[in-house]
Structure formats: C-alpha cells, structure tokens
C-alpha cells in the first residue's frame, strides 16, 4: 500500500505512515542522505524516487536562481504549479551559492554528512567551481557522485548542451517513431530526461551496494541522456552490425510483429490489440468467430503473420469496427486477449485498476490543499515507499533545519552566511 507519511507541518520530519503505524525509517533507503544539485527533470526525478523510498534528499538551489521547475507545468493553484509539488515531494530545500567562497565551504560540510551527490550540470561545472570529484573524495571518500548530462562526462561532444528531445534524436528513438516520409514525432513527455534519471537511480543503488556490501569506495555514476535513449533500441545494434538492417518508423505498430496494433471501434475509440504470440492469436481468432485463421499458412505462426501483417491487421480492423469500445474490450477480455483502450489522463483517473493499485494518491498540502500525485513505483511488500510531504513552495525552507540542525551552525553564523550571499 502506498503510504502518505504524516508530518507535523510542511517539510517537517516524517513520522508514522498514516493509519499504519509503520515508521518512515522502515523504508529501504532510510539513513541514506542525498545532496541534489541541478534542476528540472534529468536528475531531480531520481532524487524524487529516492525520497519516495525513505532517503533524506536535500535539494540545493541557488539563492538567486531557484529551480525553473517551480514555474513549469500547465496547472496552477494560488500561483504555484503542481508539477513542482510532485517532483520535489519529500525533499528538504535549502539555498546555497556554490560560487561564493562561504557557500563552497558549507557545501563541503554537507558532503561530509552525505552518501550521494546527484547533479545534472553541464560537464566541467563542478570542476570549474573547485568541486571536482577528486576534491570531494578528500572530504568524504565514500561519496557516490551521480552525474547526468546530455552526452556524458567524456567524448568529443561532452561539452555540448543536451535536452531530452535532442537525446531522443541522437540516441535513435525518434528515427523509429512515426510514419515513413513524415516528420518523426516526439512522445508528449521528456522521455530522454526521465530515462536518464532512472539510469542514474539504478547506478546510485549499484554504487551504494558495492560500497556498503562489498567494501568499495565512492565513485562517479556517469549517465548520458543520449546513451539512455540508445540503450532501448533492442535488436537494432546486432541486426545492423550483422546484416546491415536499418529499422525505420513503424507507424502505430512494430514491423513483423502481428497482430499488435491499434484498431478503431465503432464509437471512434482507439484500442490496442496485442495477439502476436501464437497461442494468443488462437484466442483472438476465436473471439473474432474465425477459428480457422490459425490454420491458414499465412497466419499459422509468428513469422508468417509478420510477412502478411498488413492484410491480417486490415482484417482485424474491419472486425473491430463492428463493436463499440466497451463491447470490443469486454469480448477480448473474455477470450484473454491482451488489449486496452488508449487512455487519456481523464480516463486514467477513472481507471479502477490504477485506483486499486493506489497510483493516484491524495497528498494534503498546507497551501495548495489536496494535491493528487502519482503513486509509488515499484511496490515493495515489506519496505514500502511513501510520500513524506509535497514539494516545499519556498526556496530555502529547510535552511534552518539543515544548516543549524545537521551542520550545527549558530544563528549568528547563519546570518553571516546570508549577509555574504552564500545562502
């Protein structure tokens, strides 16, 4: 069950999970402290995932230039965007100027107390600030430094700026998307950013395990947006290397994988029908009232259906058009044929499966009221994740708790640092 950890106030320390008595300290990453530098999606998404599973994530923003994510998103409540409340949930927000001498001193003090540093600056930024990994390891040899960038920390293009759309193009994903002879469309999300962030999370967990369970030391987790996209190309690499095959855009399905496509119902809804496996195709044929189809040499096995994909999917399209979407999906369900309507976010909110799995969680925010946020993925049965609090709306809202509580700076020292522009 997804937990919404009770807190005394916005950004307070998480207590027991509401109604469960399970403390946040039972979460799998409890005791791991993460410093998050960077902004927007590539990087901070990994920080959100770690916070969801109990890590103490300290998000560091510039006093003069807070994370632009605070202004991103389509919906606003009381002048605030809701995307920020999700992307920064469970994080403690502090302000710190790494360009100021005192700011760098404080940062090194934070590093002494941290397990992980997560950043998505352009390569060389930390080095320019005098905070290269080698310098940080002098302070804390066990620090895991996750670095997310467009092209990676090395190579001829390392210094080039990279965004999700650029990475999706350079990494090969865009070339495979869409229809031949048309502009390759992008997915309606920043896919390259999120992929890289998930790889960063994976690398951090691997590095923590190697350090803590295998006696290793700190290391750099070097993640490239381009490489994250490239890694999903499935058989394209060996197929091209061995046979010169260059896969292109495959419209709404996959070439040679049939039937697996979208089909329009009589009420104009698009429904995915995926029956390319031999045994599943037998069930689809039964649902269609055409039990003879699997015996037809054109459709008798996976390879044959791939060769005759167009005519087969045209046949299925004609059949599907005779049913409304509810009738079609119900019929397919009765025959255990994988299917789904293509859901809008409105339809997702009404989806009983996603609600049963608590993928839509109501989080109480002192200033925004009730905010519906996406639930926790993945689900762990014995050490579940949870949402400690909504993203703090005020930059530096945890300055006192972190600089005073964690680092032990006095009120006078905090005021001096503020006067110097360091925090």
Report yes or no on 217 lying in a domain: yes
Nearest in space to 146 (alpha carbons), one of 183, 109, 117, 113 = 117
Same domain, 74 and 190: yes
0.75 cut: is pTM over it?
A: yes
Determine the average pLDDT of the residues in 397-406: 95
Report yes or no on 238 lying in a domain: no
Determine the average pLDDT of the residues in 243-251: 93
Beta strands (DSSP E) in 215-331 are 220-224, 260-264, 270-274
User: Could you tell me the CATH number of the domain that includes residue 148?
Assistant: 3.40.50.10540
For residue range 13-47, list pLDDT tens digits in order: 444 333 223 345 579 999 999 999 989 999 999 99
pLDDT band at 224 (very low <50, low <70, confident <90, very high): very high
Nearest in space to 3 (alpha carbons), one of 133, 76, 90, 127 = 90
Same domain, 160 and 279: no
Q: What is the pLDDT of residue 9?
A: 33
7 versus 150: the higher-pLDDT residue is: 150
Report yes or no on 181 lying in a domain: yes
Give the whole-angstrom CA distance, residue 226 versus residue 163.
9
Q: What is the pLDDT of residue 79?
A: 83
For residue range 282-317, list pLDDT tens digits in order: 999 999 999 999 999 999 999 999 999 999 999 999
Q: What is the pLDDT of residue 4?
A: 59
Q: What is the pLDDT of residue 14?
A: 41
pLDDT band at 406 (very low <50, low <70, confident <90, very high): very high
Which of 322, 341, 360 is the C-terminal boundary of a domain? 341
Q: What is the pLDDT of residue 191?
A: 95
Do the bridges between strand 3-4 and strand 386-387 make them parallel or antiparallel, or are there none, so unpaired?
parallel
The DSSP secondary-structure symbol of 93 reads E
Same domain, 147 and 276: no
Q: What is the pLDDT of residue 80?
A: 85
Residue 150 has pLDDT above 50, yes or no: yes
Write the CB contacts of 30 (distance below 8 Å, at least 6 apart in sequence): 24, 54, 55
Report yes or no on 347 lying in a domain: no
Do the bridges between strand 33-36 and strand 116-119 make them parallel or antiparallel, or are there none, so unpaired?
parallel
Same domain, 297 and 160: no
Same domain, 23 and 128: yes
Residue 105 has pLDDT above 80, yes or no: yes
In this predicted structure, which of 5-9, 157-161, 223-227, 336-340 has the lowest mean pLDDT?
5-9
pLDDT band at 81 (very low <50, low <70, confident <90, very high): confident
Give the whole-angstrom CA distance, residue 207 versus residue 221.
8
Same domain, 300 and 198: no
Determine the average pLDDT of the residues in 215-223: 98
Please report where in the chains the tokens 């008798």 appear, as a residue. 300
Same domain, 89 and 179: yes
Nearest in space to 275 (alpha carbons), one of 249, 250, 294, 296 = 294
Same domain, 43 and 112: yes
Please report where in the chains the tokens 């804390």 appear, as a residue. 140
Residue 158 has pLDDT above 90, yes or no: yes
Whole-angstrom CA distances from 266 to 258, 321, 324, 348, 419 are: 22, 5, 5, 21, 68
Q: Can you tell me whether residue 391 is helix, strand or coil?
A: coil
Whole-angstrom CA distances from 146 to 197, 307, 308, 321 are: 10, 45, 47, 50
User: Could you tell me the CATH number of the domain that includes residue 302?
Assistant: 3.30.1540.10
Which structural domain, as residue segments, surrounds residue 282? Answer: 260-341
For residue range 44-78, list pLDDT tens digits in order: 999 999 999 999 999 999 999 999 999 998 888 88
Same domain, 18 and 160: yes
Which of 315, 341, 367 is the C-terminal boundary of a domain? 341
Determine the average pLDDT of the residues in 112-131: 97
Q: Can you tell me whether residue 60 is helix, strand or coil?
A: strand
Report yes or no on 221 lying in a domain: yes
Report yes or no on 151 lying in a domain: yes
Which active-site residues does the annotation give? 193
Residue 195 has pLDDT above 50, yes or no: yes
Into how many domains does the chain fold?
A: 2
Give the whole-angstrom CA distance, residue 103 versus residue 101.
5
CB atoms within 10 A of CB 25: 11
Angle between helical axes of 101-112 and 411-419 (0-180°, round to 10): 140
Q: What is the pLDDT of residue 18?
A: 33
Chain CA centroid to CA 274, Å: 25
Same domain, 204 and 131: yes
Report yes or no on 246 lying in a domain: no
Nearest in space to 92 (alpha carbons), one of 65, 122, 114, 123 = 114
Nearest in space to 13 (alpha carbons), one of 1, 28, 30, 34 = 30
Same domain, 131 and 208: yes
Report yes or no on 237 lying in a domain: no
- Per the CB < 8 A criterion, the answer to whether 198 and 210 are in contact is no
Which of 320, 341, 362 is the C-terminal boundary of a domain? 341
Q: Share the mean pLDDT of the chain.
A: 92
Residue 10 has pLDDT above 50, yes or no: no
Same domain, 316 and 182: no
């Amino acid at each position: 069950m997804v937990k919404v950890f009770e807190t005394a106030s916005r950004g307070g320390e998480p207590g027991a999970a509401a109604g469960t008595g399970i403390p946040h300290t039972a979460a799998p990453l409890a005791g791991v402290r993460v410093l998050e530098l960077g902004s927007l999606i590539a990087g901070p998404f990994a920080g959100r995932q770690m916070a969801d599973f109990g890590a103490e994530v300290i998000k560091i923003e510039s006093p003069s230039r807070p994370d632009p994510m605070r202004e991103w998103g389509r919906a606003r409540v009381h002048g605030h965007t809701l995307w920020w409340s999700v992307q920064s949930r469970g994080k403690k927000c502090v302000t710190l100027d790494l360009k100021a001498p005192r700011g760098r001193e404080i940062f090194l003090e934070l590093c002494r107390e941290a397990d992980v540093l997560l950043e998505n600056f352009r390569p060389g930024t930390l080095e320019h600030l005098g905070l290269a990994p080698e310098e940080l390891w002098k302070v804390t040899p066990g620090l895991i430094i996750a670095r997310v960038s467009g092209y990676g920390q090395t190579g001829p293009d390392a210094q080039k700026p990279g965004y999700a759309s650029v990475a999706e193009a350079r990494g090969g994903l865009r070339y495979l998307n869409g229809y031949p002879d048309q502009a390759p469309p992008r997915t309606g999300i920043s896919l390259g950013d999120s992929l890289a962030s998930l790889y960063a999370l994976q690398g951090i967990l691997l590095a923590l395990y190697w350090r803590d369970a295998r006696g290793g030391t700190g290391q750099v987790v070097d993640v490239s947006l381009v490489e994250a996209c490239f890694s999903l190309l499935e058989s394209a690499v060996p197929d091209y290397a061995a046979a010169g095959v260059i896969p292109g855009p495959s419209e709404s399905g996959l070439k040679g994988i049939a039937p697996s496509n979208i089909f329009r119902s009589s009420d104009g809804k698009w429904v995915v029908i995926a029956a390319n496996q031999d045994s599943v195709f037998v069930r689809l044929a039964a649902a269609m009232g055409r039990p003879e189809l699997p015996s037809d040499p054109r459709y008798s096995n996976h390879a044959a259906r791939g060769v005759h994909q167009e005519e087969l999917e045209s046949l299925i399209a004609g059949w599907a058009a005779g049913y409304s979407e509810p009738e079609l999906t119900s019929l397919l369900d009765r025959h255990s044929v994988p299917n789904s309507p293509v859901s809008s976010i409105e339809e997702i909110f009404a989806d009983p499966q996603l609600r049963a799995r608590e993928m839509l969680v109501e989080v109480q925010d002192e200033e925004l009221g009730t905010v519906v946020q996406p639930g926790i993925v993945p689900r762990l049965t014995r050490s579940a994740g949870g949402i400690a609090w909504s993203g703090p709306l005020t930059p530096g809202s945890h300055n006192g708790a972190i600089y005073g509580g964690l680092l032990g700076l006095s009120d006078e020292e905090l005021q001096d640092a503020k006067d110097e522009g360091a925090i």
